[in-house]
């Protein structure tokens, strides 16, 4: 039997010149499943994504494996230098398949349905990050993001391209970008202890509700180990509830085991995993 990919719909053009297409996984010309390939520009590179993998008939016969390998060839043909696969938390079979094919864990998405957030610890408050301190904050946030991207398996060039594209896209107006909350955590003397970057109503939860997203939680190095990361997350929850948003999501790099443990202790659950692989 011959397993191949066949277009399952017209190619979709995405902003910035990206492209995406749904494919059918076929055995002797008969559809048995499907997947989607997407290519997105990251600076002067192209970044591939494989998602929506499903095998509706004949599981455990290698059809998913052939489908993913064929999808990689599509992405190579589209000029992609690497590929990410997105795996829902409950899809244990797909996760095992990705790892067998050489994909390594990069990051995981976590989410929480918010109730009433506890008060911040005594002596701690948050204030906005204004235009005067924004450049310094952005430089520090970008440096941290680059470090995490490199730790997740990207090359220096790939990390630089992704960081530049991501910050340009999500903060087009700096601290005045609509729907963005940039906050400093300060003590009773006004001393800065850490920072928070939150996007309100950035996405929609699986249940169709507004979903805010934590972009950065950063405790200044000299103040780490004092539970301030937890305080920043509580501040994020307060910001969401004040804006009428009751679902909060975040992305955490798999190598950051301390942060993973913090979020789990606060009630966040894994919703998706992202694994990556170099193609070229």
Sign of CA dihedral 239, 244, 246, 247: negative
Residues 254, 106: contact at Cβ < 8 Å? yes
Give the domains, in start order, of the chain with CATH numbers: 3-80 (3.40.630.30), 112-275 (3.40.630.30)
**Residue corresponding to tokens 């976590």:** 110
Mean pLDDT across the stretch 74-99?
A: 94
Q: Which pLDDT does position 207 carry in this prediction?
A: 66
pTM of the model: 0.86
Nearest partner of 253 among 206, 227, 217, judged by Cα: 217
Summarize pLDDT for 146-202 with one digit per residue, the tens. 999 898 888 898 889 888 888 888 899 999 999 999 999 999 999 999 999 999 966
The pLDDT of residue 84: 96
C-alpha 32/C-alpha 34 separation (Å) is 7
């Amino acid at each position: 039997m011959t397993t191949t990919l066949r277009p399952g719909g017209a190619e979709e053009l995405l902003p910035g010149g990206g492209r995406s297409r749904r494919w059918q996984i076929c055995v002797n010309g008969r559809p048995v499943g499907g997947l989607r390939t997407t290519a997105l520009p990251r600076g002067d590179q192209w970044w591939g994504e494989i998602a929506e993998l499903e095998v509706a008939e004949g599981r455990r016969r290698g059809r998913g494996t052939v489908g993913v390998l064929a999808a990689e060839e599509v992405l190579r043909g589209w000029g992609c230098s690497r590929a990410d696969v997105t795996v829902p938390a409950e899809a244990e079979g797909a996760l095992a398949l990705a790892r067998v094919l050489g994909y390594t864990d990069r990051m995981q998405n976590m989410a929480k349905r918010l109730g009433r957030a506890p008060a911040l610890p005594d002596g701690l408050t948050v204030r906005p990050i204004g235009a005067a301190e924004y450049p310094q904050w952005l430089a520090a946030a970008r440096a941290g993001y680059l470090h995490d991207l490199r730790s997740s398996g990207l090359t220096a060039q790939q990390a630089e391209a992704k960081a530049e594209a991501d910050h340009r896209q999500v903060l087009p107006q700096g601290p005045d970008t609509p729907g963005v909350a940039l906050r400093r955590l300060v003590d009773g003397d006004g001393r800065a202890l850490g920072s928070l970057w939150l996007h309100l109503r950035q996405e929609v939860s699986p249940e169709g509700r507004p979903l805010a997203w934590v972009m950065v939680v950063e405790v200044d190095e000299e103040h780490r180990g004092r539970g301030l990361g937890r305080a920043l997350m509580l501040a994020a929850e307060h910001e969401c509830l004040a804006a009428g948003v009751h679902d909060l999501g975040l992305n955490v790099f798999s190598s950051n085991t301390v942060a993973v443990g913090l979020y789990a202790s606060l009630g966040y659950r894994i919703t998706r995993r992202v694994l990556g692989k170099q193609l070229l």
